[in-house]
Structure 1
Amino acid sequence: MKILVLGATGYAGFHISRALRQEGHTVLGLTRDATGDRARELLVEEVRPVEGLMSDPETYRAALEGADAVVCAALDMNDPLGSDRLLFRTLREARERTGRSRHLVFTTGITFLTTTGEVWDEQTPADPGNPLYLRAQAEQDLKDSGLPHTVVRPSFIYGGSGRSSKSAQWFIAARTGEPVFYGDTTKRYTWVHVDDLATAYVAVLRQPGAFDGQTFMLGDEHRPTLLSVQQACLDAAGCTAGITFQSADAGGMLESCADRDELVDSAKARTLLGWKPRHPGILEDTLTYYAAWDRARPQS
């Protein structure tokens, strides 16, 4: 297939694009700058950069209309729901113009879900009071659109370049010698290695029609406390400074939203997709993850 990936130069999007190419697909990657370093890395992985913006469908319309499927691994921070709706509209227009549909694999997350239940699955309701509820609204808009689609909800991502991961925040804090932990020290998260995440997109797009309308939660079976993960990241980076503890509110909106256990059950993905995490967990090989993050950083 020919697949357009929105957010191809981002953390998850880059690994998804590479995995899809390794599966044998022709992959186009939307990027703000087709001449930048990250776009050149896509070229090395045999992914063809397409310069454009999620907020401007005209910049990617031709690539979308030439594609058989679309992966959205991007989030327009200026207007997240608005850009998602523009994407859905562009897909509908492409179907009307060409007479064929393109399957959309749409990425959201888990932090907008309610606190109900100890472990979350695909049936866990969203929390309308959560500032990230707009991700649930986007999912509902997509469902109402009638477009063929699959929703992927990753848990907390780690591994590879790290980039926008929480582990990267702690590696940076180790360099500055000012590590801070925000909120409840007992909270636990579910994690997923970025390459394991990418294999789920590959599985969906092997037979997209079989997963039309489905939602999949993705995470490994490890559920460490966040504090233990932060300490492991600091140790891997050789940081000897003590952690300063502050309220979740002091860390901003994202820290406040996630100041609780965020644990997911991926049984559905394991059963229907045949998906299984291959990596040993974020606590088992933290030195390797630190080295990968360090090597991926721009060298001065």
Structure 2
Amino acid sequence: MRVLLAGASGVLGRHMAAALVGSGHEVVGLTRSPGGARRLRDDGVEPLVADLMDRDALLRAVDGQRADAAVHAATALRKVPMRHSGMAATDALRVRGTRNFVEAVQAVGARRLVVESMHLGYGYGDFGDRVITEANTPWAPPGRDAALERHLEGFRVKEQVAFHTAGVEGISLRFGALYGPGYGAGGTEQIVAMLRKRSLPVVSERVRGSLPWTHLADAGTATVAALERGRAGEAYHVVDDESASMTAHVRFLAEAFGTPAPMTVPLWLIGAVGPYLRAFLTSVAHLSNAKARDELGWAPAYPTYRDGIRSLATTR
């Protein structure tokens, strides 16, 4: 297939592009900058410079292009935000950016559309030990406060537009917390650099918090599987087999890479300076990946975050 990929020069997008190219697909990568275009050419991807937030410029950029399918993985994040305001640009990409991109998808004649989503769309809540499936828990419920509602609206609208646009076969991939090769949001290299500078604290293990995790390479292979075998109108959990707290993940990362151990700070301090980060760290969600295994024929190459981190450490 010829695939139009939004967010192609980001950490996640580059892994998706590599998996698509490696599976024999042709990728046209949307990026906002000439620098991103140069990186895409180096990756064997045809670049197209356009901003999803500028509808008219986006439609001009894709004029004359044709594609069989599309992927929306655009984000404005460069690191995990501390405050709710740090999510504003990404929230806008999930709402207005998705609507603009779907117009571009229709313009290029693509029928199949895969959109990136995250486990946090279940509501930044504490679901205890219950295992969440795509069918047993409401997606993007009303937020507990105005700040969370802005984020959840983004998750809600992105899937609604993908699933309910005429002529578009929408599929959503709900990832866990991303990690793996790359410097930027979701990339482990940035975290390791912070650990070496002793600039990344963690909260006590006594703080309840447990996140599903997704290796970036597994996100890439799942994208290929969804394009080739996913069912229209369906969401799939693309997560590994074990949830774990951010503290456990970062401490294991420090051990594997031989960096100084991260300092421990109280949760109240995180909440005072970073209310969004507090909501992220205290979320508890265990997601089943059984549907992706059964319907997509996908399985994580790295079943746990420890497997993925060990692989990263041995190839550094």
Deviation at 1:167? 4.2
Whether the 8 Å CA contact 2:37–2:49 is kept in 1: the answer is no
1:115-169: CA deviation from partner (whole Å, max 9, x where unpaired): 3562222122123113420211221233332332111111111112253127455
State the Cα distance separating 1:171 from its structure 2 match: 1.6
- 1:57/1:2 CA distance change after superposition, 3 Å: farther
Match for 2:17: what amino acid?
A: S
Which residue of 189, 210, 215 maps to 1:188? 210
1:229 aligned to which of 225, 249, 253: 249
Partner of 2:287: 264
Percent identity of paired positions between Structure 1 and Structure 2:
27
Contact 1:50 1:60 in 2 (8 A): no
Q: Following TM superposition, where does structure 1 have runs of at least 4 consecutive aligned residues deviating by more than 6 angstroms?
A: none
1:177-226 CA-to-partner distances (Å, cap 9, x unmatched) read: 2331247634222111111111111112224xx51111111111122333
Report the counterpart of residue 133 of structure 2 in structure 1: 121
Residue pair 1:186, 1:227 contacting (<8 A) in 2 also: no
Deviations 1:2-57 (A, max 9, x none): 111000011111110111111111111111223x2x53332233111111111123
Structure 2 CA distance for partners of 1:108 and 1:4, relative to 1, 3 Å: same
Residue among 109, 114, 130 paired with 1:105: 114
* Structure 1 residue 63 corresponds to structure 2 residue 62: yes
TM-fit CA distance, 1:288? 4.2
Q: Are 1:40 and 2:38 matched, yes or no? A: yes
The alpha-carbon distance between structure 1 residues 111 and 285, as it changes in their structure 2 partners (threshold 3 A), is closer
For 2:111 and 2:27, how far apart are their aligned partners in 1?
14
Shift in CA distance, 58/102, structure 1 to aligned 2, threshold 3 Å? farther
Mapped to 2, the partners of 1:28 and 1:101 lie a distance apart of 12
Q: Deviations over 1:71-126 (max 9, x none)?
A: 0001355322111122223434x2xxx8x552111111111214356222212212
**Is residue 140 of structure 1 aligned with residue 160 of structure 2?**
yes
The alignment of Structure 1 onto Structure 2 pairs a total of residues equal to 284
In structure 2, the gaps of 5 or more residues are 77-87
Structure 1 residue 291: Cα displacement: 7.0
Corresponding letter in the other structure for 2:40: L
Aligned: 1:206 with 2:228: yes
CA–CA distance in 2 between the matches of 1:272 and 1:7?
A: 26
Match in the other structure for 1:87: 101
Normalized against structure 2, the TM-score is what? 0.80
Equivalent residue of 2:27, what SS?
A: strand
What is the root-mean-square deviation of aligned Cα atoms in Å? 2.6
| Structure 1 residues 3 and 166: CA distance shift in structure 2, 3 A | closer
Shift of 1:281: 2.7
Letter in 1 for 2:177: F
The answer (yes or no) to whether the contact 1:174–1:237 under 8 Å persists in 2 is no
Structure 1 partner of 2:82: none
Q: How does 1:43-54 map to 2 (within 5 A)?
A: 43-54=41-52
Aligned partner of 1:298 in structure 2 is: none
What amino acid maps onto 2:287 in structure 1?
V
- Residues in 2 aligned to 1:138 and 1:172: alpha-carbon distance in whole angstroms: 33
2:22 equivalent to 1:22: yes
Alignment of 1:164-179 (within 5 A): 164-165=185-186, 167-168=188-189, 170-179=191-200
Unaligned 5+ runs, structure 1: 296-300
Change (3 A) 1:168 1:263: farther
| Residue type of the alignment partner of 2:185 | S
